[in-house]
């Protein structure tokens, strides 16, 4: 078996695995009590149905769960991680901003764990 065959076989296994993990994450997010609209707009805005409808339409929350997941996975396969519902910035920008601090903390904790 050459290296190209090995890499292709691993890619064939990895892609469905990532899609499955995404489906499980969506199912868990749906099972958690609470509503993302209430969490982001607050109770005062919930009294205005137009604001709620606009928020749901903007973030795709007015679509069925399976359709939301298909849209997300499709964009994910194209390299689009979407926008953060909190910062309203692209998720990739947030990852770039927080990754250095995350690596620093992970390195420090690993060093401390090895030394102790």
| Per-residue exposure over 64-96, b if at least 16 CB sit within 10 Å of its own CB, e if not | eeeebbeebeeeeeeeeeebeeeeeeeeeeeee
- How confident is the model at residue 47, as a pLDDT? 80
Please, what is the average pLDDT of the chain?
Answer: 89
Q: Give 54-71 pLDDT, tens digit per residue.
A: 888 988 888 998 899 889
Averaged over 41-58, what is the pLDDT?
83
Residues belonging to the chain: 116
CA gap 79, 43 in Å, rounded:
35
Q: What is the pLDDT of residue 38?
A: 81
pLDDT in tens, 1-20: 699 999 999 989 998 898 88
State the pLDDT at residue 8. Answer: 92
Q: What would the pLDDT profile of 81-106 be if each residue is shown by its tens digit?
A: 999 888 889 999 999 999 999 999 99
> Is residue 108 over pLDDT 80?
yes
End-to-end Cα spacing for the chain: 43
Residue 29 has pLDDT above 80, yes or no: yes
């Amino acid at each position: 078996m050459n290296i190209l065959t090995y890499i292709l076989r691993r890619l064939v296994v990895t892609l469905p695995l990532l899609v499955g993990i995404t489906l499980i994450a969506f199912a868990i997010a749906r099972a958690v009590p609470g509503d993302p609209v209430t969490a982001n707009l607050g109770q005062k805005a919930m009294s205005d149905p137009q604001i709620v409808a606009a928020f749901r339409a903007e973030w795709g929350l007015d679509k069925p769960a399976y359709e939301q997941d298909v849209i997300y996975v499709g964009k994910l396969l194209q390299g689009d991680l979407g926008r953060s519902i909190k910062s309203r910035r692209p998720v990739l920008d947030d990852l770039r901003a927080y990754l250095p601090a995350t690596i620093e903390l992970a390195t420090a904790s690993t060093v401390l764990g090895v030394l102790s």
